[in-house]
């Protein structure tokens, strides 16, 4: 006597069960063996691909393996066409979701590795990988979603057209957010600044701490965090001091009018010698600039062969010390603000103020 269950005898069910278990065991064994083999060889190789493969294979879900086993078993069973179609659609859906999971883990792992490898020599990688990784993963999941809908018989052509019309409406409603998003991509691709750069935006100074999809954050000199929207940031004039290779320095010293002509002609040479004595400075010019309100003004221009503000201050300090010493040797005084007050009737002022002066002296 043959026992039938859903039009399949016991032999067919045993064959299906054996095939399903075999497929599940084969997939589990393949996953375990490949991960173990790669784990043994990965520490001894220079490429990151084997480490990435371990992460991708480890993300294989048990539901995917079980579904593949069930689908393989169903191929030797006689099942209704409707049930076979549903099972096929579900199997394809699970496979697509697993493929999306593999791709998501692969993209995330690769960009993370790229950021760690390049951050030391290229700080822009920290900026770019966050945005590009998000875009790549979003595109992957959208494509997988459309493929799943197409697998279930949904007309994705009409859906894509509908999404296009709806996208226009959403874009109009989200102009500011989308503007910041595209500004973020512009920052990633054009790289006007990257994380770690010291920039000035209008009258705000700070170090770039984070570049996101909507905002960029600076850490000011005072310690507080300043947040800009990306679109507003790109509309501003940005001065990036991180890429400065040299600094042009202009400074002025002043002497009183009472110095001699010999001392006056000596000062530009002293200024030049003081600048040229510095290893990191390149002298440009030093001149008697003009007559100030209460002093003679001398202007000096030189270049510091470094963009580091600390190096500039060290050079300027050394120049100031040399000037102090040389002016003392030549008995050239530095000027300080003075003002001459001329009185129309000095005798009257003397007569009034003399008693007060004597009274103050006696007290």
Q: The domain spanning residue 201 has which CATH number?
A: 2.30.30.60
Q: Which residue has the tokens 């910041």?
A: 180
Same domain, 254 and 217: no
Contacting residues for 53 by C-beta, under 8 A, at least 6 apart: 34, 38
| Res 165: pLDDT | 59
Q: What are phi and psi of 106, to 5 degrees?
A: -65, -45
Give me the pLDDT at residue 230, please: 85
Selection from 275, 293, 274 nearest residue 284 by Cα:
275
Angle at 355 between CA 349 and CA 358, to 5 degrees: 125
* Domains held by the chain: number: 3
Please state the φ and ψ torsions of residue 200, each to the nearest 5 degrees: -120, 125
Domain of residue 314, CATH code: 3.30.70.100
Tell me, yes or no, whether 362 lies in a domain: no
Tell me: pLDDT of 351 over 60: no
Position 301 pLDDT exceeds 90 = yes
Higher pLDDT, 250 or 45: 250
In a domain, 251, yes or no: yes
What's the domain range around 309?
Answer: 247-329
Highest mean pLDDT among 99-103, 208-212, 270-274: 270-274
Residue 37: pLDDT band with limits 50, 70, 90: confident
Q: Is the pLDDT of residue 228 over 60?
A: yes
Residue 290 lies in a domain: yes
Regarding whether 229 and 197 lie in a shared domain, the answer is: yes
User: Does residue 321 lie within any of the structural domains?
Assistant: yes
| Helix, strand, coil percentages for the chain (3-state, nearest 5) | 60, 15, 25
pTM for the structure as a whole: 0.50
Q: pLDDT confidence of 243, banded at 50, 70, 90? A: confident
pLDDT of residue 355: 57
**Average pLDDT value for residue range 142-158:** 80
Report the alpha-carbon angle 155-157-158, nearest 5: 75
Average pLDDT, the chain: 81
pLDDT at 349 over 60: no
Q: Within a domain: residue 337?
A: no
* Residue 122 pLDDT: 53
The residue among 119, 154, 189 that closes a domain is 154
Same domain, 232 and 274: no
Could you read off the pLDDT of 101-128 as tens digits, one per residue?
Answer: 999 888 888 877 777 766 655 555 555 5
352 or 115, higher pLDDT: 115
Residues 19 and 147 reside in one and the same domain: yes
Q: Is the pLDDT of residue 319 over 90?
A: yes
CA 252/CA 239 separation, integer angstroms: 25
Instruction: Let me know whether 104 and 29 are in one domain.
Output: yes
Both 217 and 301 in one domain: the answer is: no
Contact between 319 and 275 under an 8 Å Cβ cutoff? The reply is: yes
| Cα four-point dihedral sign 188, 194, 200, 205 | positive
Do residue 19 and residue 91 come from a single domain?
yes
* For range 119-142, the mean pLDDT: 68
Whether 275 is covered by a domain: the verdict is yes
Residues 147 and 10 in one domain: yes
For residue 86, the model assigns a pLDDT of: 84
pLDDT surpassing 70 at residue 306: yes
- Clarify whether residues 235 and 251 are in a common domain: no
55 and 147 in a single domain? The answer is yes
Domain presence at residue 58: yes
- pLDDT-based confidence at 46, cuts 50/70/90? confident
Q: What is the pLDDT of residue 352?
A: 55
> By percentage, how much of the chain surpasses pLDDT 90?
24
Q: Is residue 349 a part of any domain in this protein?
A: no
- Residue 1: predicted pLDDT: 41
Q: Quick one: pLDDT at residue 44?
A: 79
What pLDDT, on the 0 to 100 scale, is given for residue 155?
Answer: 75
Burial of 355 (0-12, 13-18, 19+ CB in 10 A): exposed
| Chosen domain end from 212, 239, 266 | 239
**Residue 256 and residue 218 share a domain:** no
| Mean pLDDT calculated for residue range 8-29 | 84
Residues in Cβ contact with 107 at an 8 Å cutoff, skipping those fewer than 6 apart: 133, 136, 137, 140
Mind listing the pLDDT tens digit for each residue in 165-177? 556 655 555 566 6
Tokens 């850490």 map to which residue? 219
Please report which confidence band the pLDDT of residue 260 belongs to, taking 50, 70 and 90 as the band edges.
very high
> Do 77 and 198 lie in a common domain?
no
Which whole number is the average pLDDT over 1-24?
74
């Amino acid at each position: 006597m043959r026992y039938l269950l859903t039009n399949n005898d016991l032999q067919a069910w045993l064959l299906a069960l054996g095939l399903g278990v075999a497929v599940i065991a084969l997939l589990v064994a393949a996953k375990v063996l490949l991960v173990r083999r790669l784990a043994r060889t990965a520490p001894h190789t220079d490429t990151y691909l084997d480490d990435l493969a371990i992460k991708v294979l480890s993300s294989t879900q048990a539901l995917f393996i079980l579904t593949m086993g069930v689908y393989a078993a169903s191929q030797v069973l006689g099942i209704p066409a409707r049930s076979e179609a549903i099972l096929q659609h579900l199997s394809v859906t699970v496979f697509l979701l697993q493929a999306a999971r593999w791709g998501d883990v692969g993209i995330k792992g690769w960009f993370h590795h790229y950021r760690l490898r390049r951050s030391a020599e290229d700080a822009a990688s920290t900026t770019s990988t966050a945005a590009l990784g998000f875009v790549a993963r979003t595109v992957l999941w959208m494509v997988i979603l459309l493929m799943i809908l197409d697998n279930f018989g949904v007309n994705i052509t009409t859906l894509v057209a509908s999404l296009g019309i709806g996208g226009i409406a959403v874009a109009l409603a989200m102009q500011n957010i989308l503007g910041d998003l595209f500004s973020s991509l512009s920052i990633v691709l054009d790289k006007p600044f990257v994380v770690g750069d010291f920039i000035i935006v209008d009258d705000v100074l700070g170090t770039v701490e984070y570049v996101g999809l909507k905002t960029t954050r600076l850490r000011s000199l005072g310690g507080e965090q300043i947040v800009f929207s990306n679109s507003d940031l790109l509309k501003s004039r940005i001065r990036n001091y991180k890429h400065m290779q040299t600094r042009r320095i202009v400074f002025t010293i002043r002497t009183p009018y009472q110095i001699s002509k010999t001392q006056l002609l000596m000062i530009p040479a002293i200024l030049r010698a003081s600048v040229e004595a510095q290893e990191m400075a390149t002298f440009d010019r030093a001149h008697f600039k003009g007559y100030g309100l209460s002093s003679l003004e001398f202007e000096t221009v030189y270049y510091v062969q470094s963009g580091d503000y600390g190096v500039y201050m060290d050079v300027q300090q050394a120049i100031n010390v040399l000037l102090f010493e040389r002016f003392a040797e030549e008995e050239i005084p530095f000027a300080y603000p003075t003002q001459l007050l001329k009185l129309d009737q000095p005798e009257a002022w003397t007569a009034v103020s003399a008693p007060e002066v004597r009274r103050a002296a006696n007290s």
